[in-house]
Chain A
Amino acid sequence: MKNRGSFLEHSVTLKVEGFEQQKLISECMRKDVPIKDIHIKSDIEMILTLMEWDYQTFLKTAKNKYRITVLRERGYKPVAKKAFGKKSTMIGMILFALILYYQSTFVSEIRIFGYESFTESEIRESLREAGLYEGCSKSVDLKTVKLHLYNDLDNIAWIGVKYIGNLAEVTIAEGTVTPKPVDKSIPCDIVADKEGYVEKTIAREGVVAALPGTYVKPGDVLISGIIPVKSTAYGTPDVNKTERYVHSAGEVYVRVPYRLNYYQEKYRDIKTPTGNCLVGFRVEIGDFKLNTANILNYYDNSVYEENKLLHVVRPIPVSLALVKIKEITVTEHERSQEEIEKEGNRQVREAIRQNLPENVQILNKSLKFSPGENIIGVAIMLEALEKIGMEKEIVIGNTTDRGTENQD
C-alpha cells in the first residue's frame, strides 16, 4: 500500500460534471485512488473528495470527458500554507512570539511563604529594596537579593528564592531564640534577663534573693534554688548546716527605665504654589522608562503629582500616567510650643509601640525638649513595670555555666 498520508493532511472536494460517473469511479478504484464522500447530485453531477496527491491522477483518468471544479481544500497543510502565506499573519505571529518571550523575562508575581514574626509587607519592602518586585526583570541577581534580606531582616535562618515561570517564590525560615526551659526535675535559679529595680517578688519555690528596691542586672539571681537547711536536733553543731536544691518558680516584677531620643524639626515648611505648572506623561514598558515632565522641569522648588492611567504586569509590565509638576515657593515658620508637644506625644506613643514589650504597665513618662539651631531634641523617659526572669540550671561541682549554653 502506498503511503500517501491521510485525508486530514490535505484533501480536495471536487464537483465532477459528465456522463457515466460510475466508469470514472471504477477507473479510480483500478488505479487505487481512495475517494471519500461521493454524493450523486444528478445523472451528470457528483461531488467527491480525494487526497491532494491523487488529484493529478484523477485529472488524467477523467481526461477531457468531465468538467472538474475544485470546491474547497481541507486539511492542516492548506490551512498552514494559507496562514504562512500572508505577510500580516507572519508579522503578527512573530510579534506574538516576541511579546511572549519578552513578557517571560519579567517577574509578574511574588509569593512569600514561611514568615511568622515579620509581616508580608516588611518582606516585600525589603525585596523591593533588593531589586526584586513585581514587574522587575528576571535578570536580578538572586544572591544579592538573599544577602540583602539576611542583612535587612533579623533572625532569618534560611531564604530560598526561585522562579516558576514568571512567578517568584520566596521562602523564609525564621530562627528561634526562645530559651529552652529547664526540666522540672533539675534544680534551678530564676535570674534576671533585663536590668531594673525590683518592685515585687513572688517566690513559689525557692528563696527570694532580690529584695524590693534592689537594682538587678541581667544574670543576677532573683529567686535562688539553694535553700539552706539547719538541723534543729539537740546537740547538732552549727557547722553541720546543709543545703537543699529546688527547681525555683515564681514571678518577679521590676521597674525598667527606658531613655529614648527623638528629634523634631524646629521649623515647618510652608509650600505656596506660584501658579506655574508643567504637564507631561510617564511611560514605563519593561525596563524602558520615560517621564517628559522630569526632562522639562527647570523649577527650583516643585511638587510632583501623578495620575495613574494604566498599570499592568501581564503580558509585559506597562505603566502609563499623567504627571503634573507644580512650581512652589517654600517658606519656613517656627513651630509653636503646642505643635511641638503634640508631636512629642505622638513620638512617645511610637516609642512605646516600637521599644516596649506587650502587656507592660507604663508607670511614668516624661518628655524633655532641647531646642537646637534647626532641630529640637526630644528625650523620652519611660518607666515600665515588667515581669522578668528566666530559669538557670544549678550545676553542682561544675563551674561551667550550662544554663547559658542551653539558652544560646
Chain B
Amino acid sequence: MNVKDELLYDFSIKMPRLLVSGNTGILDNVKKIVYITENSIIVDHGSRFSAVSGDDLRIKLIEEERVLVTGNIRSVEFYSGKKGGADEK
C-alpha cells in the first residue's frame, strides 16, 4: 500500500471500515443505526451500508462514530451506495 492509498484510506470517513475478530466486531465511521435486532445490525456509514449478522448480537459500546458489537458473528455484508450518491451501483 503506497502513501496515496493510505491517505485515501485514512480520510475515507464515509466508507465502511470493519474489523471482526472472533466474537467481537468494530464498525467505524458509523453515522446512523438503520436496523437493530438480536440477529442483525445494519449501519449507515454515510455513503454505504454494512450489516453484521449472527446470533445474540449486542452493542457493547457506541461512541464517536464507533460501534463495538459482540456475539456470534456469522457474516458481514456491504450494500451499495444510496440512490443518487457517488457510490451508487
- Using a CB–CB cutoff of 8 Å, the interface residues on chain A facing chain B are 1, 21-22, 25-26, 28-30, 32, 34-40, 43
**Total contacting residues, chain B, CB less than 8 A:** 17
Is A34 within 8 A of B61, CB to CB?
A: yes
Q: List 24 A-B contacts (CB under 8 A).
A: A22-B32, A25-B36, A25-B59, A26-B32, A28-B62, A29-B30, A29-B31, A29-B65, A34-B62, A34-B64, A35-B59, A35-B62, A36-B60, A37-B58, A37-B59, A37-B60, A37-B61, A38-B36, A38-B58, A38-B59, A38-B62, A39-B58, A40-B38, A40-B58
Is B61 within 8 A of A35, CB to CB?
A: yes
Is B63 within 8 A of A40, CB to CB?
A: no
**5 closest A-B pairs by CB:** A38-B59, A34-B63, A26-B32, A22-B33, A35-B62
Is B61 within 8 A of A36, CB to CB?
A: yes
Chain A contacts for B34, CB-based, 8 A: 22
Q: Whole-angstrom distance from the CB of B11 to the nearest CB of chain A?
A: 20
Chain B contacts for A34, CB-based, 8 A: 61-64
Q: Whole-angstrom distance from the CB of B67 to the nearest CB of chain A?
A: 9
Q: Whole-angstrom distance from the CB of B70 to the nearest CB of chain A?
A: 10
Chain A contacts for B35, CB-based, 8 A: 22
Q: Whole-angstrom distance from the CB of B12 to the nearest CB of chain A?
A: 19
Chain A residue with the shortest CB-CB distance to B69: A38
Is B36 within 8 A of A1, CB to CB?
A: no
CA of A28 to CA of B35 in the docked complex: distance in angstroms? 15
CA of A37 to CA of B69 in the docked complex: distance in angstroms? 9
CA of A29 to CA of B31 in the docked complex: distance in angstroms? 7
Task: Tell me if B23 is interfacial: C-beta within 8 Å of chain A.
Answer: no
| Contact A32-B58, Cβ < 8 Å, known A25-B36, A40-B36 | no
Choose among B32, B36, B37 the residue that contacts A29 (Cβ–Cβ < 8 A): B32
Chain B contacts for A39, CB-based, 8 A: 58
CA of A40 to CA of B41 in the docked complex: distance in angstroms? 11
| Contact A21-B36, Cβ < 8 Å, known A29-B30, A29-B65 | yes
Chain A contacts for B65, CB-based, 8 A: 29
Q: Whole-angstrom distance from the CB of B47 to the nearest CB of chain A?
A: 16
| Besides the known contacts A32-B64, A34-B64, 15 further A-B residue pairs in the complex with CB atoms under 8 A apart | A25-B59, A25-B62, A26-B31, A26-B33, A29-B30, A29-B33, A29-B65, A35-B61, A36-B60, A36-B62, A37-B58, A37-B60, A38-B59, A38-B62, A40-B38
CA of A1 to CA of B61 in the docked complex: distance in angstroms? 16
Q: Whole-angstrom distance from the CB of B69 to the nearest CB of chain A?
A: 10
Is B62 within 8 A of A22, CB to CB?
A: no
Is A22 within 8 A of B36, CB to CB?
A: yes
Chain B contacts for A43, CB-based, 8 A: 37
Chain B contacts for A37, CB-based, 8 A: 58-61
Q: Whole-angstrom distance from the CB of A4 to the nearest CB of chain B?
A: 11
Which among B33, B34, B37 has the greatest number of chain A C-beta atoms within 10 A? B33
Which among B30, B37, B61, B62 has the greatest number of chain A C-beta atoms within 10 A? B62
